[in-house]
Amino acid sequence: MFDAAVAAAHPDVVLAPHLRPAANGRVICLAAGKGAAAMAAAAERHYLDACGLEPARLVGIATTRHGHGVPTRRVKVIEAGHPMPDEAGLKGAAETLQLAHQATADDLLLVLLSGGGSANWIAPVDGVGFAQKQQVTRALLRSGAPIGEINTVRKHLSRIKGGRLARAGQNAAGITTLAISDVPHDEPSAIASGPTVPDPTTLADARAIVAKYELEVDDAVRRALDDPANESCKAGDPAFARAHFELIARPRQSLDAAIRLAREAGYEVIDLGADLEGEAREVAAAHAHLALEARAKGKRTAILSGGELTVTVLGNGRGGPNQEYALALAGLLRDTTGIAALAGDTDGADGGGGKPSDPAGAVIDQATFAKIKAGGLDPRAYLDKNDATAFFAATGDLLQTGPTLTNVNDIRVILVD
């Protein structure tokens, strides 16, 4: 079911039908996110092979997460940091803005976005240094704030997010943005922090988020969030006069692909939706209750959900929201038979240190529960330390997929059989 969800959102499947004809000049491809290189390669096949575009008329740069690069012919690929931005992300954003500024009235600006673009494109506003931007990103990631709030702050500290890329490329014949959604409710301004669409959030919103989570930020960051010059681009800005935005893959489509498999396998489906948010361990408790109810009724049931959960980090362990969800489930279901579960991030990396080898999530089943007993493992103790990776490394239940080259949030499946 997890594999079906990922396959439904792969750039090779979803991109080409949405690509527009080239203008009279160049196609300038600017891509960011975990699927950026794969999206750029798919665009190259379309324009160069299917359409016969002269190679010199296709240029671009794709900034993706380390380990998520693929071979390309005309579009330069830069691998950069995620979730923590790095110097490569600075370089990728600078070259992206430079290409956008060079666009003429004969050029098509093709912007390809996928989850992770916010961290990959790093272009701090004047007065904020790279280290200060890293500091505020780290504080946001540890705060438990949902992705929408994290991106609200990011957008007001950036020269490329919040519609500013569209402003940089507004001399182009047109700006076409094709996006793979990794955010709940598929809000365009939240995907990769909305570099080519109007931003409904404000500097005041960003300041309120910093206050809400009591974030420790540098004085330079506070000054930047007080500076009206750093307000993001709003509806009606001339930058959007020739801009077109389209979603080409969304979490709902991927969840539906998993649900089809569940039904074909004879399970009664409980569909909890593609936009779940909340603290991972709290959501796990609610889902464990549903699973136990289904088991008590003797129903062969598949409980599926998408969305993006959060973790308020209090310990010093390793993991991500999917592993924490699975760990909480393991603690609640450890004395139960007939239940198995998987929780994974469709991009192939759940939290972690930004390495291609980071786990995508975890799986639990009867073998997990047997290892808990045999090894004297205490799921609650690992949960208290936010150390889900160590727990599942001990039980052998980490979900290791490697980079999938797409990102439509998380897929969680509980099977009651």
pTM assigned to the model: 0.92
**Cα distances (angstroms) measured from residue 213 to each of 80, 142, 393:** 27, 10, 32
With CA atoms as reference, report the closest residue to 332 among 410, 280, 400: 280
What pLDDT was estimated at residue 146? 85
What pLDDT was estimated at residue 356? 85
List the domains of the chain with CATH numbers.
2-123+158-198+233-249 (3.40.50.10180), 252-416 (3.40.1480.10)
Contact between 361 and 324 under an 8 Å Cβ cutoff? The reply is no
What pLDDT was estimated at residue 148? 85
Could you tell me how many residues make up the chain? 417
Please list the residues that pair with 343 across neighbouring strands: 362, 412
CA distance 303 to 325: 14
With CA atoms as reference, report the closest residue to 309 among 333, 345, 334: 345
What pLDDT was estimated at residue 92? 97
CA distance 382 to 389: 9
What pLDDT was estimated at residue 354? 73
What pLDDT was estimated at residue 181? 95
Taking every pair of Cα atoms in the chain, the longest distance, rounded to a whole number of angstroms, is 68
- Tell me the one-letter amino acid at 236: G
At 41-79, the pLDDT tens digits run 999 999 999 999 999 999 999 999 999 999 999 999 999
What pLDDT was estimated at residue 313? 87
Please list the residues that pair with 77 across neighbouring strands: 62
At 108-157, the pLDDT tens digits run 999 999 999 999 999 999 999 999 999 998 899 888 888 889 999 999 99
**Structure tokens, 389:** 């990776």
- Which runs of consecutive H residues, i.e. helices, occur in 112-250? 117-120, 130-143, 147-155, 164-168, 203-212, 219-226
- Buried b / exposed e over 201-237, threshold 16 CB at 10 Å, is bebebbbebbeebebebeebbeebbeeeebbbbeeeb
Q: Which parts of the chain have pLDDT scores under 50?
A: none
